[in-house]
Amino acid sequence: MGNLLEIKNLSIEYVTDERTNKAVNNLNLKIREGETLGFVGETGAGKTTTALGIMRLVPSPPGRIVSGEIIFEGENLLEKTEKEMREIRGNKISMIFQDPMTSLNPIMTVGEQIEEVIKLHEDLPKDELRKRAEAMLETVGIRKERFDDYPHEFSGGMKQRVVIAMGLACNPKLIIADEPTTALDVTIQAQVLELMKELKVKFNTSMLLITHDLGVVAETCDYVAIMYAGSVLEYGNVERIYNNPLHPYTVGLFNSIPSLDEDKDKLDVIPGTPPDPANLPTGCKFHPRCSKCMEICKQKMPEPIEVEEGHYVSCFLYDKDVKEGR
């Protein structure tokens, strides 16, 4: 399987008069065709900024893509003109946002909103356009009689289905879903995730699923990247990472979630708080909170190391040279 998307050394900053927030730092990532990559991290880890970077939608100013390459189907998106990007957005790469309550236009019917996406990229006669949009509604499990209803007439889960229909309307190669189920209740979340899994196979799309919920990743993703302070700390096959998490942050993250099948008096805690993106620590970004911090961690940022096939971790604990005292 070839790489559909490859991000190399991407850095994005938000610059204001007082401060420079380094939201994404030297990020490397790839998504193969047909694959779902889970993108996990806490608030402010740079997940959404990365997604906006791929879409070239980082608000500028204050946002600025400082360096890096985003290779999509062999071409660098960062070298595209705005006009070329408009051809790609919604057509080849589409995005599903977190909050279906705010990402739909309240004064347009849901049908029109789906039609609008198709109309932008394809020249179709009116009745055919409507047919396509109706078919999309049915695909996501909404009766086509509801074509002329407005967003406020739908529940949260149904609205998110409409947003998904819009995202899939042009049969994109890549879908970026930014916390698509976070605003939904668990039983509705289960319905929507099931639908997304089905449609992904049906349309043969790749997906970048941004979430903070490790449970959602386990159920939907093939690969997972753990983000912290704008960089990927650990990347690999979901099974490998869940069965054998290696980076101290990943381990801490798993241990701090209350478990349903175990009883614990006290939860394990990662001490401290995530760093201020305007004032990142030197060396490894996680070292001030790390229980296994060594001298070298304070000075140098570790490179990703392939510990087993397809499982990368950026941590000096797994660096042979460091272990053997160089």
Partner 1 sequence: MERVLIDVRDLKKYFNTKQGTLHAVDGLNFQVLKGETLGLVGESGCGKSTTGRAILRLHEPTSGEVIYDGEDILKYNNKKMKEMRRKMQIVFQDPYSSLNPRLSVFELIADPLYVNKGVVPKNRIEEKVKYTMELVGLEKRLINSYPHELDGGRRQRVGIARALVLNPEFIVLDEPVSALDVSIQSQILNLLDELQEKLSLTYIFVAHDLSVVKHISDRIAVMYLGNIVELTDYKKIFEDPLHPYTQALLSAIPIPKVGIKRERIMLEGDVPSPINPGPGCVFYGRCRNRKDMCKEVKPEFEEKKPGHFVACHIV
In Å, how far from its chain's centre is CA 159? Answer: 20
CB of 182 to partner 1, least distance (A): 11
98: alpha, beta or left, given left = phi > 0 and alpha = psi -120 to 50? alpha
CB of 17 to partner 1, least distance (A): 18
Amino acid at position 85, single letter: M
CB of 176 to partner 1, least distance (A): 20
**How far, in Å, are 146, 155, 157, 164, 320 from residue 149 at the CA level?**
5, 12, 15, 17, 61
CB of 108 to partner 1, least distance (A): 22
Residue ranges in contact with partner 1 by CB under 8 A: 42-43, 155, 157-158, 185-191, 193-194, 212-219, 238-239, 242-243, 252-254, 256-261, 263-270, 273-274
Task: Give the integer Cα–Cα distance in Å for 47 and 102.
Answer: 20
**Cβ proximity to partner 1, 120 vs 190, nearer residue:** 190
How open is the CA angle 287-290-295, to the nearest 5 degrees?
Answer: 50
**φ/ψ (deg, to 5) at 173:** -80, -30
CB of 255 to partner 1, least distance (A): 8
- CB-count burial class (<10 Å; 0-12, 13-18, 19+) for 228: buried
**Cβ proximity to partner 1, 81 vs 187, nearer residue:** 187
**Cβ proximity to partner 1, 43 vs 81, nearer residue:** 43
Collapsing DSSP to helix, strand or coil, 24 comes out as: strand
**Cβ proximity to partner 1, 40 vs 165, nearer residue:** 40
CB of 256 to partner 1, least distance (A): 4
**Cβ proximity to partner 1, 90 vs 157, nearer residue:** 157
**Cβ proximity to partner 1, 81 vs 243, nearer residue:** 243
